[in-house]
Amino acid sequence: MSGLPPDVGRLRGWWFLFRPYLGWTALLSLCAVWFGVLVALQWDGAGPFFAMLGAAFALWWWLSSRYARAGVAVTGSRQADVHALVRETAGERGLPMPDRIWLDQDTRVIGRVRHGRRELVIGLPVAYVLPRSELTALVAHELSVLATPGSTLAVRLYRRWAAAVERFAYLGGRSCSSQKDAAVQEAFGALGEAIERQADGGLPDAQIAALAVLRLKPIRVDFDIFHTLTLNELTEPVGHRRYAIEDIHDGWRRRVAIRGGYVTGLDVDAEHAVAVGQCHPGLTAAARALVGRLLEVTVPVDAVPVSQLSRRERRLLARMACIDQRWHRRRRWRTFQTAPAEIWRRAATARARRPREAVAKVLGREPADSAEAAEVIRTRPIDVALGWNPDWKAEDIDPDRIRAAFSLDLLEDALLSHRWLRADAAVPDLLRAADGTELDGRELTARAASDSSAYAELLRLLSEA
């Protein structure tokens, strides 16, 4: 590729020095052989046995690490639509196909070299909510990175540089960047910028690519909020059992499709555009042109179809999504729909506790019932908000938003405690009665903040429950 430092081509033959675990495996095998020699000098025939045992263990360890599942494998027969998108993108730009393609749990699209193989990793949350054109732009960028001459070493160095630049850009400047990050940027700066400019320059529409890069941040925040809230709801045991949700990614997709993302009203600001320009020099102008553009998390109509995952694949990604891999131990796997309804009832009660405590501070006593608590929230929202969080400033509080949010907590707790259920367990505020009647709790409480008839309906539901 033109534009890359000439020394990069000479790195092609060094790939074997940088394969993870290979050096350690060779060292372990050598140690096992020497151990066998020493044992042979003392105990005759036992030496070769120990040498073979050690070598076999080292070989098993290397093979298990090399062929470990890094997500859901994408092939022409499995996840055919995703594979077709990658194949078409590579063919249109004259780029080689990666050796492996994975769907994983993260909110990213990244090309990497692992165990000497070029891999393209597409985050499942990204595939769910990015339009086809934006996902194609990210895939094209990463395929271009993987096509770098001397790819194994060059891509590894580039990834270190890109991670350091991203931390530097999004943490607010050099004062927040560690000395190690600064050293990495300086050492690999020429190589990283050359690869990045080459990858950005090959994109047919820089504005679509910049928009895709900008959208990754709200997607990451939105999925993290949903995942954290779900894990919090699963903290307490139900009876003598604890549960884990296996379809966490599909639940998030359904939640976004029904309700939209948690991150709303977020637009591109100048600081964010500058950060993208530092990480992607070739997209600087396009990112600045998008300042003021609203970044919504939605499920587009032209999203690339992702085939239904198997139970094993869903559980694998659910484990990978947790920081603590041991969190799922001794837990029973369930989907959102098959998990015990008691989980969501307890979660609703826990959420309603703090608004009730805030109302109690305002009244100087416990409210008689949920209807009285709702009345106090309606008439004195500022006082209730300050009772809920004394650090807030009265002038910054939106009364209608407080009325809607706190009333929704009370409504959900009241209804779920009286034979109502979630219509979809991944969407907390969409409720269903025993007779099949569905209620949009969010829509009702939002109207009740300013509409007297909707407020009367809210009081009726709270009183009957």
Q: Give the tens place of pLDDT for each residue, 77-107.
A: 989 999 999 999 999 999 999 999 999 999 9
Largest CA distance in the chain: 94
Comparing 2 with 213, which gets the higher pLDDT? 213
Q: What is the structure's pLDDT at 376?
A: 94
Residue 224 has pLDDT above 70, yes or no: yes
Residue 20 has pLDDT above 50, yes or no: no
Q: What is the average pLDDT across 283-312?
A: 92
**Cβ-Cβ contacts under 8 Å for 294 (sequence gap 6 or more):** 265, 266, 267
Question: pLDDT tens-digit profile of 368-392?
Answer: 899 999 999 999 999 999 999 999 9
Cα angle 289, 290, 292 (rounded to 5 degrees) comes to 120
Q: Judge contact between 217 and 126, C-beta under 8 A.
A: no
Count of residues making up the chain? 465
**Which DSSP string corresponds to 349-381?**
HHHHHHHHHHHHHHHTS--SSHHHHHHHHHH-H
Comparing 149 with 447, which gets the higher pLDDT? 447
Q: What is the structure's pLDDT at 19?
A: 44
Question: pLDDT tens-digit profile of 133-159?
Answer: 999 999 999 999 999 877 677 888 888
Percent of the chain beyond pLDDT 70? 83
Question: pLDDT tens-digit profile of 318-366?
Answer: 999 998 878 888 899 999 999 999 999 999 999 999 999 999 999 999 9
Query: Which residue is listed with tokens 């998108």?
Result: 85
Which residue, 347, 397, 402, is CA-closest to 378? 402
* Two tokens, residue 144: 């271009």
CA distance 356 to 348: 13
Of the given ranges (14-28, 166-180, 246-260, 428-442), which has the lowest mean pLDDT?
14-28
Q: What is the structure's pLDDT at 42?
A: 61
CA distance 171 to 459: 46
Residue 7 has pLDDT above 50, yes or no: no
* Two tokens, residue 121: 């990793």
Output the CA torsion 404→410→412→415 (10° steps): -130
Residue 440 has pLDDT above 90, yes or no: yes
Q: What is the average pLDDT across 101-128?
A: 92
Tell me the pLDDT band of 185, cut-offs 50, 70 and 90: confident
Q: What is the structure's pLDDT at 9?
A: 43
Q: What is the structure's pLDDT at 449?
A: 84
Task: Give the global pTM.
Answer: 0.84
Tell me the pLDDT band of 39, cut-offs 50, 70 and 90: low
Query: Which residue is listed with tokens 């092939």?
Result: 75
Q: What is the structure's pLDDT at 59?
A: 67
Q: What is the average pLDDT across 238-261?
A: 94
Helix (H) or strand (E) holding 104: strand 100-104
Distances (CA, A) of 29 to 36, 46, 50: 11, 17, 11
CB environment 340-363: b (16+ within 10 A), e (fewer): eeebbbbbbbebbeebbebbbebb
Q: What is the average pLDDT across 123-127?
A: 96
Tell me the pLDDT band of 31, cut-offs 50, 70 and 90: low
Of the given ranges (4-8, 159-163, 354-358, 442-446), which has the lowest mean pLDDT?
4-8
CA distance 406 to 354: 9
Query: Which residue is listed with tokens 């998008």?
Result: 290
Q: Is 5 exposed, middle or buried (0-12, 13-18, 19+ CB in 10 A)?
A: middle
Q: What is the structure's pLDDT at 41?
A: 61
Query: Which residue is listed with tokens 């609703």?
Result: 348
- Mean per-residue pLDDT of the chain: 85
* Two tokens, residue 23: 């050096």
